[in-house]
Amino acid sequence: MGERLVVIGGDAAGMSAASQARRLRGPDDLTILAFERGRFTSYAACGIPYWIAGMIEERDQLIARAPEVFRSKQDIDVRTRHEVVAIDTDARTVTVRDLEAGEEADHGYDQLLIATGATPLRPPVDGIDAQGVFGVQTLDHGQAVLDALADREPRRAVVIGAGYIGLEMAEAMVLRGLEVHVVEMAEQPMSTMDPELSTRIADAMRGMGMELHLGTAVEGIETDEDGWIRAVTAGATTIAADVAVLGTGTRPFSDLARDAGVPIGPSRGIVTDRKQRTPLEGVWAAGDCAETFHRVSKQPVSIALGTIANKQGRIAGLNLGGSYGSFPGVLGTAVTKVCQLEIARTGLTVRDAEAAGYEVVIASIDATTRAHYYPGARPIGIKVIAERHTGRLLGAQIVGEEGAAKRIDVFATALWNEMTVDDLLNVDLSYAPPFSPVWDPVLIAARKADGAVTEDRA
Amino acid sequence: MGERLVVIGGDAAGMSAASQARRLRGPDDLTILAFERGRFTSYAACGIPYWIAGMIEERDQLIARAPEVFRSKQDIDVRTRHEVVAIDTDARTVTVRDLEAGEEADHGYDQLLIATGATPLRPPVDGIDAQGVFGVQTLDHGQAVLDALADREPRRAVVIGAGYIGLEMAEAMVLRGLEVHVVEMAEQPMSTMDPELSTRIADAMRGMGMELHLGTAVEGIETDEDGWIRAVTAGATTIAADVAVLGTGTRPFSDLARDAGVPIGPSRGIVTDRKQRTPLEGVWAAGDCAETFHRVSKQPVSIALGTIANKQGRIAGLNLGGSYGSFPGVLGTAVTKVCQLEIARTGLTVRDAEAAGYEVVIASIDATTRAHYYPGARPIGIKVIAERHTGRLLGAQIVGEEGAAKRIDVFATALWNEMTVDDLLNVDLSYAPPFSPVWDPVLIAARKADGAVTEDRA
């Protein structure tokens, strides 16, 4: 008689873990049962804005593996529309509600993996739960937006919050032909970037016809008599709106774990160790609901991103499968685009770095993605943040056009290895005129940062 | 009375060094005199094929800084059409021929920087020096090709050698409307790649209409009575040709240094230390003519590439300027494209690795440049070479379409830091559907290589 693994959550982290564990342990040795509240498993949540935008035609293109496939090919018993409503870590049971049948049942586990994902932050204002106010974290959410677009033919959308999801959804709504207002509390969009770069993002958004309400808090949602959104009040303005989208970021959806006594960290994520174990025996967590650590700030963080969820799921699965893996932390790398503008970051912003106790020097450069004389050379702006005296790289941000953003991965790999800007500037990166100036923009930025470190020391 | 620096060669390495030294030492402290055989200084030699192809309209777009500018802005006395014909390291003089006036004169130096570049390898066959057989290392060479295209309206071109320059020149000739034959001794184009990837390159070349003669040596060049090329004999075939281009690679142009007793290394490059000093007091070398070391094979190499020349020039200039810099070696990173196919490499191929005494495991993957469901996702193939047992990354090669090649820089940065594939697969690279699958192809390849290392150990 083998062990029994229960997975809460059918998305990337949970199903990566289940698949990895299955590869290492057969069904006689390990029974795997996964409960998913929604209708879908193992899908690309990050693709939802593009599906809503109409750039991806079929919802199923976003689904990596359907429940039937997990069942038939991997002997993983996935039950969708089943919500885990309670965990008893003493009895080692979960209470599961079948959302279709309306019934509840208890299931025992030997090992429990919590992969409940993230939930959108909702400003605590009147009407925020009105009909027509959408999150876009799940395929069910995405389908709800598309249904509203089809059924109600809205003309005006308000996007609340101008982070990654806010930007992507604002663009999706423009592509759908809606008039788009973006309301953001901060003075600039993309508060995960330093202000001088986010100014360029604001310009690009206005260039697409979006109206920006910056430094403005949402104060309420007005509704029709049928409970559907009619307007968003933001600062002194009332913005007529047929739909609204929450782009205010997310928080780890750790409530179920917290209620069961699983320790929650300062980032509101479930506390995990390098193996993705929580402090409670037999309880594991992975993905957006889990807390991890930042390799540069050395502080606990929770970052909702599919790539991290997949990696953590794999690590949890290796350990649940009886092998070994350790999750080495994150850098806060992220990338997006709005219209033709590519936006990327890794490591710490100036504000993050100072909050972590670093003193910094900064360097900003403007260059081109290809040799300046080569057709299709596009602008790229890079900001590098390095530690005073040591010159250790702490972070980098990129804003530019085609070919700009993916260069962030070189900074990420340099950060991973705790490189100094002095060492980075000599790295043998690839060069040919269709791909880069003779000094790649990454190296130009590192060289300027190295100069700033030297000057600061002098 | 200050020191006197003489620079031999007006291209990237020499002029980078001169500029860097000038920034650190004023004209009273350091007199700088640079001699350049050709008519141009400080230009992007790597851009020549694109200029010949007609993609870059003006020759001057390739010139970063003209001699007059060095003279007026930086007090660097650059003399073009002046060839250094001898160095006397005892007397510390160079003998310089003014190619316009036909006169020779001696010039004394305190410090001498040799930056004589590379020269195309010429197969030792009859007729190889015929008119209409072109190298493309210098702007003067490039101008000669363009003049021939304009004056003689050639219809048929033979490109001898299918390395980077061969590929780029073959494409240029296709874009100019010529019928193009490529003759290559090896069984595949791009012998700096492993064979299974170079097969894809051969297919792309044929797809552009090029005729490939692989595994075929050039045996002679037939000429007209006026000495102009008429045909290339290659294996059993005689290929009619109105022009031919040497794409057979280059060797360090170290002859002048060798004749002066400056030590030459096994790669035929001038021996240099970390500061770019040669073993002879007061004699320095940088750029394509200099030997450097490979950070992975730990062996001496000479690689003719503008990016290395610029970096070495900067290091030489820092030291000549009284500051300090050390050149940390190369990885053999390179990138090019032929038609829509992007091609990149870094580190060691399987053959290189085995020659250096490494035993290897390999992994090859096929993925897409963006999320597979996102519009514009293009194929990317990656091969990773890792050391047996340790799993240390030794090299990587990429062949793919738009967005593929520049990912080589992540491998280069990983190699620079001597990462294992096990560590690489968890690096927090950027992800969003327009830029990458949720596991970036780099990480997919590292993960597969890690699996291969583990399996090999078992």
**CATH number of the structural domain spanning residue A187:** 3.50.50.60
Which residues on chain A are in Cβ contact (under 8 Å) with B331?
A: 428
**A406, pLDDT greater than 90:** yes
Nearest to B434 among A337, A403, A414 (CB): A337
State how far the Cα of A126 lies from the Cα of B210, in Å rounded to an integer.
68
Which residues on chain A are in Cβ contact (under 8 Å) with B417?
A: 413, 416-417, 419
Is B153 part of a structural domain of the chain? yes
A341 to chain B, closest Cα gap in Å: 12
pLDDT of residue A162: 95
Residue pair B385/B345 in contact (Cβ under 8 Å)? The answer is: no
- Regions in chain B scoring below 70 on pLDDT: 1
A114 and A257 belong to one structural domain = yes
State how far the Cα of A415 lies from the Cα of A429, in Å rounded to an integer.
16
Which residues on chain B are in Cβ contact (under 8 Å) with A311?
A: 426
pLDDT of residue A184: 96
State how far the Cα of A291 lies from the Cα of A299, in Å rounded to an integer.
10
Full residue range of the structural domain in which residue B223 is found: 122-248
Which residue of B417, B430, B444, B455 to mutate against A (max A Cβ within 10 Å)? B430
B192 to chain A, closest Cα gap in Å: 14
B338 to chain A, closest Cα gap in Å: 11
**A101, pLDDT greater than 90:** yes
A376-388 pLDDT tens trace = 999 999 999 999 9
State how far the Cα of A64 lies from the Cα of A11, in Å rounded to an integer.
10
Cross-chain Cβ contact A334/B374 below 8 Å: no
Strand A237-240, strand A229-234: pairing: antiparallel
Nearest to A409 among B373, B410, B419 (CB): B410
State how far the Cα of B452 lies from the Cα of A397, in Å rounded to an integer.
35
Cross-chain Cβ contact B416/A434 below 8 Å: no
Cross-chain Cβ contact A434/B337 below 8 Å: yes
Enumerate the β-bridge partners of residue A214: A184
Residue pair A294/A265 in contact (Cβ under 8 Å)? The answer is: no
Residue pair B334/A430 in contact (Cβ under 8 Å)? The answer is: yes
A52 and A28 belong to one structural domain = yes
Pair of tokens at residue B271: 């021996």
Is B161 part of a structural domain of the chain? yes
B258 and B109 belong to one structural domain = yes
Q: Which amino acid is at A26?
A: G
State how far the Cα of B46 lies from the Cα of B52, in Å rounded to an integer.
11
Which residue of A16, A274, A401, A438 to mutate against B (max B Cβ within 10 Å)? A438
A268-280 pLDDT tens trace = 999 999 999 999 9
B106 and B139 belong to one structural domain = no
pLDDT of residue B120: 87
Which residues on chain B are in Cβ contact (under 8 Å) with A306?
A: 431, 438
State how far the Cα of B72 lies from the Cα of B66, in Å rounded to an integer.
10
Cross-chain Cβ contact A417/B412 below 8 Å: no
**A458, pLDDT greater than 90:** no
State how far the Cα of B156 lies from the Cα of B153, in Å rounded to an integer.
9
A111 and A136 belong to one structural domain = no
B112 and B127 belong to one structural domain = no
A415 to chain B, closest Cα gap in Å: 10
Is B222 part of a structural domain of the chain? yes
B8 and B112 belong to one structural domain = yes
pLDDT of residue A120: 87
Last residue of a domain, one of B211, B232, B248: B248
Residue pair B145/B134 in contact (Cβ under 8 Å)? The answer is: yes
Cross-chain Cβ contact A47/B374 below 8 Å: yes
State how far the Cα of A149 lies from the Cα of B210, in Å rounded to an integer.
51
B350 and B299 belong to one structural domain = no
Which residues on chain B are in Cβ contact (under 8 Å) with A316?
A: none
Q: Is B62 exposed, middle or buried (0-12, 13-18, 19+ CB in 10 A)?
A: buried
Nearest to B330 among A47, A337, A428 (CB): A428
A451 and A344 belong to one structural domain = yes
Cross-chain Cβ contact B306/A337 below 8 Å: no
Scanning the structure block, which residue is given the tokens 């910094």? Answer: A360
- In chain B, the residue whose alpha carbon lies closest to the alpha carbon of A57 is B373
pLDDT of residue B248: 85
CA dihedral A413, A417, A419, A425 (to 10 degrees): -40
pLDDT of residue A1: 63
* Structural domains in chain A (count): 3
Q: How far apart are the first and last CA of chain B?
A: 70
B274 and B164 belong to one structural domain = no
Is B328 part of a structural domain of the chain? no
Cβ atoms within 10 Å, residue A363: 21
Nearest to B431 among A50, A306, A371 (CB): A306
Which residue of B46, B275, B438 to mutate against A (max A Cβ within 10 Å)? B438
Catalytic residue among B12, B46, B308, B344: B46
Cross-chain Cβ contact B417/A419 below 8 Å: yes
Residue A50, SS3 per DSSP: helix
A301-314 pLDDT tens trace = 999 999 999 999 99
Which residues on chain A are in Cβ contact (under 8 Å) with B333?
A: 428-431
State how far the Cα of B248 lies from the Cα of A447, in Å rounded to an integer.
34
Is B370 part of a structural domain of the chain? yes
Which residue of A11, A378, A430 to mutate against B (max B Cβ within 10 Å)? A430
Which residues on chain A are in Cβ contact (under 8 Å) with B328?
A: 423, 426
Nearest to A417 among B47, B50, B417 (CB): B417
Is A325 part of a structural domain of the chain? no
Helix or strand (DSSP H, E) at B442: helix B441-457
Residue pair A347/A415 in contact (Cβ under 8 Å)? The answer is: yes
A164-191 pLDDT tens trace = 999 999 999 999 999 999 999 999 999 8
A236 and A339 belong to one structural domain = no
Residue B343, SS3 per DSSP: strand
Would residue B339 show up in a list of annotated catalytic residues for this protein? Answer: no
- How distant is the alpha carbon of residue A202 from its chain centre? 21
State how far the Cα of A203 lies from the Cα of A195, in Å rounded to an integer.
12
pLDDT of residue A217: 95
B392-444 pLDDT tens trace = 999 999 999 999 999 999 999 999 999 999 999 999 999 999 999 999 999 99
pLDDT of residue A249: 87
Scanning the structure block, which residue is given the tokens 């969009």? Answer: A189
Last residue of a domain, one of B287, B320, B353: B320
Size of interface A-B (CB pairs under 8 A): 191
Is B326 part of a structural domain of the chain? no
- In chain B, the residue whose alpha carbon lies closest to the alpha carbon of A409 is B429
Last residue of a domain, one of B190, B222, B248: B248
Say which residues have a Cβ less than 8 Å from residue A43's Cβ, sequence separation at least 6: A11, A12, A62, A63, A64, A139
Cross-chain Cβ contact B434/A407 below 8 Å: no
Is B327 part of a structural domain of the chain? no
- In chain B, the residue whose alpha carbon lies closest to the alpha carbon of A13 is B438
Which residues on chain B are in Cβ contact (under 8 Å) with A50?
A: 374, 433-434
Cross-chain Cβ contact A433/B50 below 8 Å: yes
A144 and A194 belong to one structural domain = yes
- How distant is the alpha carbon of residue A406 from its chain centre? 17
Phi-psi region at A43: left, alpha or beta (left = phi > 0; alpha = psi -120 to 50): beta
Share of chain A above pLDDT 70, in %: 100
Report which of residues B347 and A195 the model is more confident about.
B347
pLDDT of residue B1: 64
